[in-house]
Chains A and B, each alone.
Chain A
Amino acid sequence: MSILVIAEHNNLELHKPTLNTVTAALALGDEVDILVAGAACGKVAEQAAQVAKVRKVLLADHAGYEHQLAENIAKLVATIGKNYTHILAPAGTQGKNTLPHVAALLDVDQLSDVIRIDSPDTFARPIYAGNAIATVQSSAAIKVMTIRATNFDAAATNGNAPIETLDDTFNTEAVTFIKEELAQSDRPELTAADVVISGGRGMANGENFEMLYTLADKLNAAVGASRAAVDAGFVPNDMQVGQTGKIVAPNLYIAVGISGAIQHLAGMKDSKVIVAINKDEEAPIFQVADYGLVADLFEVVPQLENLL
Chain B
Amino acid sequence: MKVLVAVKRVIDYNVKVRVKPDHSDVDLNNVKMAINPFCEIAVEEAVRLKEKGVASEIVVVSIGPKEAQEQIRTALALGADRGILIQTEEMPSSLGVAKLLKAVVDQEQPQLIILGKQAIDTDNNQTGQMLAALTDYPQGAFASAVDVESDHINVTREVDGGLQTLKLSLPAVITADLRLNEPRYASLPNIMKAKRKPLDTKTPADLGVTLTNTLKTVNVEPPAERQAGIKVASVEELVDKLKNEAKVI
Contacts and interface: CB of A to CB of B under 8 A. Distances in A.
Contacts of A137: 215-216, 218
Contacts of A275: 238, 242
Contacts of A93: 142, 157-160
Contact of B141 (A97, A128, A179, A236): A97
Interface of A: 10, 67, 69-71, 74, 92-94, 96-105, 107-113, 122, 126-140, 172-183, 195, 219, 227, 230-231, 236-238, 243-244, 246, 251-252, 262-263, 269, 272-275, 281, 286-295, 300, 303-304, 307-308
Nearest to B102: A104
Nearest to B10: A128
Contact of B138 (A174, A251, A308): A174
Contacts of A107: 95
A252 B249 contact: yes
Contacts of A180: 159, 161-165
Given A132-B19, A182-B161, A227-B178, A100 B130 contact: yes
B215 A109 contact: yes
B166 A176 contact: yes
B223 A131 contact: yes
A308 B158 contact: no
Contacts of A98: 129
Interface residues of B, number: 80
Contact of B231 (A177, A227, A293, A304): A293
B222 A132 contact: yes
Best-buried of B132, B160, B214, B227 by chain A (most CB within 10 Å): B160
Interface in B159-182: 159-169, 172, 177-179
Q: Which 9 A-B pairs have the closest CB atoms?
A: A104-B133, A100-B129, A100-B126, A104-B130, A290-B229, A182-B161, A182-B162, A174-B138, A252-B248
B176 to A, nearest CB: 11
Interface of B: 11, 13-14, 16-17, 19, 26, 93-95, 98, 117-118, 120-134, 137-139, 141-142, 144, 154, 157-169, 172, 177-179, 213-223, 226-232, 234-236, 238-239, 241-242, 246, 248-249
A42 to B, nearest CB: 21
Given A139-B216, A252-B242, A131 B162 contact: no
